[in-house]
Structure 1
């Protein structure tokens, strides 16, 4: 049974929904830049307008209120607040987020701020981006500007969204901006800069917040399902979920979370990386691993065997098995096992900061958007979350990804995750059937999950 104060919400990212990509003094971000270069984004699409949330946020908050959201997790665009990445603050950019916070609070919705969701100011990229050892200080200055303006009204803060993706995907795998392929030593140094930036941001929030604040971050990572209920198989799945792989350490759970929540690198890191291994001073460790209030987690599917043969199905898939439009496995049990494994290891209250399903949704002839598969997906996953809650795992809330259809990074506009359908030609919003279904879940505090 969910706690009476459980935060039923939804989430978004600034770059994916805002549009207004150069309006009111906003600077260029790396995604803005690389979207203009051929070959990075499907169909050559850009987020220049996207959902136009920058100009329509009041309409969007009204729809959130109609759904009955108790919380809304959104990110701040660093280049909108600091067009050059450092130096002068763009007052109009900050005012947009201040107005958004006021609108949410007036609607009875708790704002949750993520400081970084991937759109690095392009001018900082030209200086090396996350490869530059000065970036923790740049991020600290940006954080100060945001906290100074919003912390009198914002309670929940997250430093980073998915370092696994913007570091691993952007600087190692080359499939996210800035689309780089770097060696292991460089990747370790990049991760050090992210750790230090996280620590500095937490310190800023603790020191400057004008009201009591809860601070965390929102990583993702591989979670494996035990094949049966034996203690041996559960432990095997747990060990796989926190393994550190030399060639792909940046994509894992333990590399980031052990360092931040436990104040140490994962066991075996020294042996794995040898003379490439990064180091922290005692003072740096103290800042990197200072106390956080919750562990946010973005969870969609159970992971595949490692390594994955490109021409084979993984251990959770089979011919004809259910997949989303992102080609992700539909594995509801991952919600329970991720909650259990993460809480057992880190002993922090959890917040599901992303979970959702990409579909192929359109407005039907009756003017409605019918998405029964999303409803079934959510019902199955939320029952597994309830199982974790019933076993005593402290879970603060659930933020569905995403509040509305949006620009899905390199996939462009092909994949629709939203509770709200967006016609990208007109920016018309339509609540999907899943939004009305979610409204009943919220109103019943989860009891309606058992009515199907």
Structure 2
């Protein structure tokens, strides 16, 4: 079980985190940053882990450097009409070349941990077969830099950038993906496992299945219910195979996975909408949770998955995890929609007055408490890290070395208050990773939508902290100084 103290002590080189100076401007509350006042201030326990997250295709760039070959997102983003603003991840944040600068920035902010993903097409450019030493060397340098600055690395093995070579062999519709993923996972761990101790297998498999293999508006752009079901089951298989393969070679690692979880509400009290909300909840939430923790698919879809499940599948999927990553953004209101591919469940009306982000996503910080309480009550209260939480807004241009983003600052504050409430209610929450460290290539939205707590000028690659970053820095320092209960 991955506890707070285990997380901070899991890498020998990072066992004693140095006191980091942070940004000088964060010593005082900058304009637009909520000051640390008793009312509405997050109070997190001693040892709570503070971090930020990114993903490889969204920030690395350098898509042809160091032996890397194309991923499904390279193919998808270069297909006309797929990306809202016509951009792609060829350069993104150029993190491949600027990682040292980015790690120094994390250290100045006082971040204790960094969740990043490893690009499969860098490590195994053809998806299977020989390991690419140059690709692994990049992550080797990144990990060493993180540890040198007192930041604990958490690696995620798959954040949607499947090698195109494997997509050409069926991708997540191919049951062999489980074995291919396990081989890749072992290769990464063999290189980095002496220093990286927490490992997440997959990022948001239900989202990848729904939007990449059902709706078709994410890579690889496939559509339909059978496509979604196959992609979901084979990701579940790969998740279990990866954990088992890693545990067979090392016993000193903390292994988990990352799910996007959200409360699902019916858009009305019509029985048809209530039933649709239950089906959508199964597709989004319990399609991952039930197999992992209970060894079965949720009741609405037992028959559907029975066509794919072979002997031993559910035993492979149900494997103990040391932690669960939870990505939380907000709830959904669902209505019955006979035309919807996803179990005849579609997005319905959001209650009037509900605040939203620029993407139209509803905001409900208390929904995080609901999600964590569900894990407590129905899934054994596993150790949890919020591995993504953040919001997209129309940020102004930098001014005097700062981007003023009070809406995002308030979003983060409200969700950290909810986190503290969940802990007080007995939920095993151990840390919080903001999404995202940097403005990045935001999937089908391209570069036009920004989630970062650090602004990136994509033309010059200049990084400018936002007031939300300074707010986080201030909170981290206050807790380190003993402001927590």
State TM-score, norm by structure 1. 0.89
Q: CA deviation at 1:383?
A: 0.5
Q: CA deviation at 1:134?
A: 1.5
Q: 1:240 to 1:150 in 2, by over 3 A?
A: farther
Q: 1:193 to 1:419 in 2, by over 3 A?
A: same
Q: CA deviation at 1:224?
A: 3.5
Q: CA deviation at 1:443?
A: 1.6
Q: Greater relative contact order (Cα 8 A, min sep 6): structure 1 or 2?
A: 2
Whether the 8 Å CA contact 1:224–1:241 is kept in 2: the answer is: no
Hey, what does 1:325 align to over in structure 2?
358
Q: 1:76 to 1:40 in 2, by over 3 A?
A: same
Q: 1:43 to 1:124 in 2, by over 3 A?
A: same
Whether the 8 Å CA contact 2:330–2:362 is kept in 1: the answer is: yes
Q: Secondary structure at the match of 2:45?
A: coil
For each residue in 1:69-123, what CA deviation from the matched residue of structure 2 results, as whole angstroms up to 9, or x when unmatched? 1111000000011111111111111010111111111111111111000011011
The 5-angstrom pairing of residues 47-446 of structure 1 reads 47-184=89-226, 186-209=227-250, 212-224=252-264, 243-245=278-280, 251-271=283-303, 273=304, 277-281=307-311, 283-307=312-336, 314=348, 316-318=350-352, 321-347=354-380, 348-445=382-479
Among residues 23, 47, 50, which one is paired with 2:65 in the alignment? Answer: 23
Distance 2:147 2:209 in 1: 33
Distance 2:348 2:223 in 1: 26
Distance 1:260 1:52 in 2: 36
Q: Secondary structure at the match of 1:43?
A: coil
Whether the 8 Å CA contact 1:11–1:353 is kept in 2: the answer is: yes
Q: CA deviation at 1:32?
A: 0.6
Q: CA deviation at 1:267?
A: 2.6
Q: CA deviation at 1:268?
A: 4.2
Whether the 8 Å CA contact 1:241–1:253 is kept in 2: the answer is: no
Whether the 8 Å CA contact 1:351–1:398 is kept in 2: the answer is: yes
Q: Which consecutive aligned stretches of 4+ in structure 1 deviate over 6 angstroms post-superposition?
A: 239-242, 446-450
Among residues 48, 54, 60, which one is paired with 1:12 in the alignment? Answer: 54
Whether the 8 Å CA contact 2:291–2:297 is kept in 1: the answer is: yes
Distance 1:217 1:241 in 2: 27
Distance 1:107 1:150 in 2: 17
Q: CA deviation at 1:5?
A: 1.6
For each residue in 1:32-72, what CA deviation from the matched residue of structure 2 results, as whole angstroms up to 9, or x when unmatched? 11211101001211110010000000000000001111111
Q: CA deviation at 1:322?
A: 2.0
Whether the 8 Å CA contact 1:222–1:241 is kept in 2: the answer is: no
Distance 2:126 2:256 in 1: 27
Distance 1:67 1:242 in 2: 40
Q: CA deviation at 1:350?
A: 1.4
Q: Secondary structure at the match of 1:375?
A: helix
Distance 2:119 2:275 in 1: 35
Distance 2:327 2:70 in 1: 27
Q: 1:68 to 1:367 in 2, by over 3 A?
A: closer
Q: Secondary structure at the match of 1:412?
A: helix
Distance 1:182 1:336 in 2: 33
Hey, what does 2:29 align to over in structure 1?
none
Q: CA deviation at 1:24?
A: 1.3
Q: Secondary structure at the match of 1:100?
A: helix
How many matched pairs?
A: 431
Q: CA deviation at 1:314?
A: 4.8
Whether the 8 Å CA contact 1:441–1:448 is kept in 2: the answer is: no
Provide structure 1 residue ranges, at least 5 long, that are not aligned to the other structure: 228-232
Distance 2:477 2:367 in 1: 25
Hey, what does 1:230 align to over in structure 2?
none
Provide structure 2 residue ranges, at least 5 long, that are not aligned to the other structure: 1-42, 341-345
Distance 1:193 1:335 in 2: 28
